[in-house]
Amino acid sequence: MEVYYERKTDNFRFGSPAGIGLGNFDGLHKGHMKLVEGLIDNCLKKNLTSCIYTFEQHPSIILEPQNPVPLIITNEKKVEVLESAGINKLFFGLFDREFASLSPDEFIREILIDKFNAKLVVTGFNYFFGKGGEGNTDYLKRAGEKYGFEVLIIPPVILNGEVVSSTACRNLISKGDIPKVNEMLGRKYSMTGIVTPGRRIGTNLGMPTANIIPDEKYLLPQKGVYVTDTYYKGNKYRSVTNIGVKPTVSQNDPVTIETHLIGFNGGIMYDNEIKIEYICKIRDEMKFGDYDQLVEQIKSDIKYAVNLSAE
């Protein structure tokens, strides 16, 4: 898969006729993947290059800078998932004030036709585009008839009576309902981070942890303790991960993520990347009267995680 990042100086044009999938694709949940599958299938039938057009930064960073949408996955994860799905080209556009001012017709002519040579456009049922979100799927269909491209609208995916959406996924993550969000995503909710120095409390208690500082752009699960799988240097470890402020240790610490890799012997080096996949929540974050109580609870959490992995 070829990946492109648009910059102000770019004058990028696709030569071959293309099928374009449009959206923010935050989460790349089952609804998004149904769109991706529809795009790929139709491009194969019509001998078109399949391309996803999205943005390097979420539009809310420009449109709502005081309250941007918290993100579910990184652009690197989007690349990984879309490449595995079989997309030919992934284009990260530049969403700025100038782009936000494009009318729906300008977007269609300048982006879909001039830039991508689109012969097929695939969107979700709730897609809006152009200045103020004035363009919708009906507008897109009329434009397709006018400019000569086919439009495919993907209906919603329903799970347990609820529409699968990025908003629904965010709500579930915020509540700590990991099994349900994993079902919507079609894979385990995950995050990556760089190991940073901590207070070494876990090491001193005989249960060392890897600490990462969360990126503020990304949504964190509800504070608490989770069963997770952690990947470090190519190896997978069942783990117990705490998200919170460690109230037994301090009242003033920022929210951090620390994970204990069960069965791992040795030290995790700082500045190394780890990936954490979330499986389920064990309990809320708790304040203990002393370290002995904390140690006993952590041992109980580890036992729960180990037993779960055996199921």
Q: Is the pLDDT of residue 236 over 90?
A: yes
Rounded CA separation 232/224 (Å):
22
Rounded CA separation 295/51 (Å):
51
Q: What is the DSSP string of 64-92?
A: -TTSPPPBSS-HHHHHHHHHHHT-SEEEE
Residues 170-182 have pLDDT tens digits of 999 999 999 999 9
Q: What is the pLDDT of residue 125?
A: 94
Query: 195 versus 200: which is more confidently predicted?
Result: 195
What is the percent of the chain with per-residue pLDDT over 70, rounded to a whole number? 91
Q: Which two tokens stand for residue 151?
A: 């439009």
Q: What is the pLDDT of residue 206?
A: 55
Domains of the chain, earliest start first: 2-159 (3.40.50.620), 188-310 (2.40.30.30)
Residues 17-31 have pLDDT tens digits of 999 999 999 999 999
Residues 74-121 have pLDDT tens digits of 999 999 999 999 999 999 999 999 999 999 999 999 999 999 999 999
Residues 141-177 have pLDDT tens digits of 999 999 999 999 999 999 999 999 999 999 999 999 9
Query: 203 versus 175: which is more confidently predicted?
Result: 175
Q: Which two tokens stand for residue 217?
A: 């752009």
| pLDDT confidence bin for 203, thresholds 50/70/90 | low
